[in-house]
Structure 1
Amino acid sequence: MTQQSESTTTTSTSTTTRDADAAASRPGFAPALPPLAEPRPPGGRRVWPRTFHDRLTAPLPGLKAMARFAREGSIRPGREGLADIPRLPFEPAPLPRVDARTVAVSWAGHASWVVRIGGLTILTDPVWSRRILGTPARITPVGVSWESLPPVDAVVISHNHYDHLDAPTLRRLPRDTPVFAPAGLGRWFHRRRFTAVTELDWWEAAELHGVRLDFVPAHHWSKRTLTDACRTLWGGWILTAPDGRRIYFAGDTGYGHWFSRIGERYPGIDLALLPIGAYNPRWWLSDVHCDPEEAVRAAQDLGARRMAPMHWATFVLSAEPVLEPLTRVRAAWEKAGLDRGDLWDLPIGASRVL
């Protein structure tokens, strides 16, 4: 299939799905869910739209919002909000022993997980650097040392923000490591000589040694330079083992309708890795970052059996006190009447096995 015909097929499939999503939002309308996409062949260069602005679920901040943000200066917590840094949960431990039938997750910090599924080791948004552009150095060390990692079978990327796409970390990987990335981001990897890059649109899938990887929508955006806002797509990932067990990695997202839609299309999610930090001030960040209460609602919308919080306790990205996300997510989980054992509020460096 030529690049042009590939692009046409992708656009047609995505348009059909988006039309169904739009119809689903009408009161009283309950459309049949479109079937899951057949996995695409790995790799290959594809033609994408110049911009993905039409995928935004909220407008990007305008000049007035930016002026208010600059005026209020509420980008970091105060001294009291930072005082709990020594109490942040950090308990590094050896990775669990696994086999092809084991599903396990280990939290390295922020949105970086070591996922063991179907006999594969998959890294999500790997950031092992001490510092990222525009942000103070990490306030907790990486919970999983790079030297302790087994051979990495694949990497999944949610979007191109610096705290999720870290060039120094990715340079540590062999260039033939399979990379699964949002639409439009392949060029970034090809420039760095990665040779096995698969770009996916929302609701598209790929397969690696029996593990299915589906790229799903998120309430977020993309930007890496002054001129490339929304030039590449953003989203989350559903990882499905050969035996049907599923992990949802949300990447970075605000709260909204996509969670229930994802839960309908991928029933039986065993574990949802959901962001709970970087949410204050709310007027500035609510469209693109869940707060802890919204993350619990998202887990319920997904129909997920368990939730593991992430995207907190690593980098100071916003104004809430550093320990607040944990206390609030625990309270929200209890208020929702959910089983305490199904909230996997792991310390950085800890692991759990399904």
Structure 2
Amino acid sequence: MSTSTSTSGSTSVKGTGAPAATSSSAPPYPPLAEPRPMAEHRVWPRTFHDRLTAPLPGLKAVARFAREGAVRPGPEGLADIPRLPYAPGPLPRVDARTVAVTWAGHASWVVRIGGLTVLTDPVWSRRILGTPARVTPVGVPWSALPGVDAVVISHNHYDHLDAPTLRRLPRDTPVFAPAGLGRWFHRRRFTRVTELDWWEAAELDGVRFDFVPAHHWSKRTLTDTCRTLWGGWVLTDADGRRVYFAGDTGYGHWFARIGRRHPGIDLALLPIGAYDPRWWLRDVHCDPEEAVRAAQDVGARRMAPMHWGTFVLSAEPVMEPLTRVRAAWQRAGLPREHLWDLPVGASRLLE
């Protein structure tokens, strides 16, 4: 893989492994970028295909999937839908020194950090395009949300970028989006949209928003494949506490790189579902065991699983991701209390 450079001059995730810091007092390698201005006008490449670390499925793979693949579990795999964990509760009381997360379902979190309320990939709709209705309700009623101070988007797939939900927000809500996605928001009259490339950052009211690599892809129409970027976010408050939201991603070397640039991640929100059949989805979705490895690679003290138990997107039984992530965590010898396997609607506070 070749090394590519963003419009700001920062080096992308592609390339060989980074050297270690030469001493304990040296800054993380590579150094963090200076925050960019909020809502600045950017000019982006026409395509981000060069960011893929594995090719998207071709005609042979599509034909194989048509013959062998499955998009839903069988009857036995769906039988556990009534057992999916759902325990909505009130949002915790917080102040500017408190970090708290609440799982609304799928990749949607209410993150309270540095006095801000941040939504990740907010999807409050019952249905998304091309997918059966959600199998667990949203864990947080929209009416129960405090004022939303910011939104972060990982990529433009319909289960992560939901227009009906975003229409509920004031148009001056700050939005942090991947490179190339600002136009989508501007067409909907959002006025404070900050687009970032990998390894770039912006800052809002003392909270730093770093956009970090993932291996995924983007598409919303027949003609826009990989026209916008994809990735995850590291949110850091003034006290240095960090929450990593991975978005959608396959497993790879980028997790270790993220950990080197952002040492001391307190909590990693990592996807564990939508992985079967593996030959079809391995490059773009972690399975539960890979998610545990990713948490270790980034050096996260705690992991909260997501991207399961909300929409039935692939063929694994609906409860299998939870069972497998718990087993993988135990095999890794990690403290049980550091696996925040929350029910939809539940919250936890960082101590």
- Which TM-score band applies after superposition, normalised by the shorter structure? over 0.9
Distance 1:321 1:257 in 2: 28
The amino acid of 1:275's aligned partner reads P
- How do 1:311-330 residues align onto structure 2 when only pairs under 5 Å count? 311-330=307-326
Distance 2:140 2:302 in 1: 22
Secondary structure at 1:152's aligned position in 2? coil
1:318 deviates by 0.1
AA in 2 matched with 1:254: G
Give the counterpart of 1:191 among 180, 184, 187: 187
Paired residues of 1:216 and 1:238 also in contact (CA < 8 A): yes
Instruction: Please tell me the root mean square deviation across aligned C-alpha atoms, in Å.
Output: 1.3
1:255 counterpart = 2:248: no
1:289 paired to 2:289: no
Matches within 5 A, 1:92-241: 92-241=88-237
- The structure-2 alpha-carbon separation of the partners of 1:205 and 1:75, relative to structure 1 and needing over 3 Å to count, comes to same
* Letter paired with 1:46: R
Q: 1:152 offset after TM fit, Å? A: 0.1
Moved over 3 A (4+): 29-32
Q: Which structure has more helix as a fraction of its residues?
A: 1
How much has 1:23 moved relative to structure 2?
3.6
* Corresponding position of 2:26: none
Q: Is 1:24–1:31's contact at 8 Å kept on the other side of the alignment?
A: no
SS of corresponding position for 2:255: helix
Shift of residue 34, structure 1, vs aligned partner? 2.3
Work out whether residues 69 and 277 of structure 2, in 8 Å CA contact, stay in contact via their aligned partners in 1: no
Instruction: Give how far 1:11 is off.
Output: 2.2
* Letter of the 1:253 counterpart: T
Corresponding residue number in structure 1 for 2:15: 22
- Aligned equivalents of 2:185, 2:178: Cα separation in 1: 11
Report the residue type matching 1:294 in the other structure.
Answer: E
| Amino acid in structure 2 at the alignment position of 1:106 | T
| Aligned positions, number | 340
User: Could you give the per-residue CA deviations for residues 236-274 of structure 1, whole angstroms, max 9, x where no partner exists?
Assistant: 000001100000000000100000000000000000000
What's the CA shift for 1:72? 1.7
Q: Structure 1, residues 49-96: CA drift from partner, whole Å, max 9, x if none?
A: 000000001100000000111112411100000000000000000000
Partner SS, residue 7 of structure 2: helix
* Aligned position for 1:269: 265
Contact preservation (8 Å) 1:253, 1:288: yes
Q: Which ranges of structure 2 fall in alignment gaps of 5 or more residues?
A: 23-28
Secondary structure of the residue that 2:110 maps to in structure 1? strand
Counterpart residue type for residue 123 of structure 2: V
Partner of 2:341: 345
Post-superposition offset of 1:44: 2.0
Taking the aligned partners of 1:170 and 1:57, their CA distance within structure 2 comes to: 30
Deviations 1:14-66 (A, max 9, x none): 3xx23x851427xxx65772211000110022100000000001100000000
Letter in 1 for 2:132: P
- Cα distance between partner residues in 2 of 1:233 and 1:175: 22
* Mapped partners of 2:214, 2:146: distance in 1: 30
The CA deviation at 1:13 is 1.6
Aligned amino acid, residue 89 of structure 2:
A
Q: TM-score, normalised by structure 2?
A: 0.95
Please say if residues 128 and 142 of structure 1, whose CA atoms lie closer than 8 Å, have aligned partners that are also in contact: yes
User: Do the aligned partners of residues 23 and 281 (structure 1) sit closer, same or farther apart at CA in structure 2, a change above 3 Å counting?
Assistant: closer
Which structure 1 residue ranges, 5 or more long, are not aligned? 1-8
The 8 Å contact of residues 23 and 31 in structure 1, kept in 2 or not, is answered as no
Q: Deviations over 1:152-178 (max 9, x none)?
A: 000000000000000000000000000
- The TM-score with structure 1 as length reference comes to 0.94
Once residues 237 and 40 of structure 2 are traced to their aligned partners in structure 1, the CA distance between those partners, rounded to angstroms, is: 24
Question: For the residues of structure 2 that align with 1:131 and 1:112, how far apart are their CA atoms?
Answer: 14
For 1:224 and 1:95, the matched residues in 2 are separated by 33
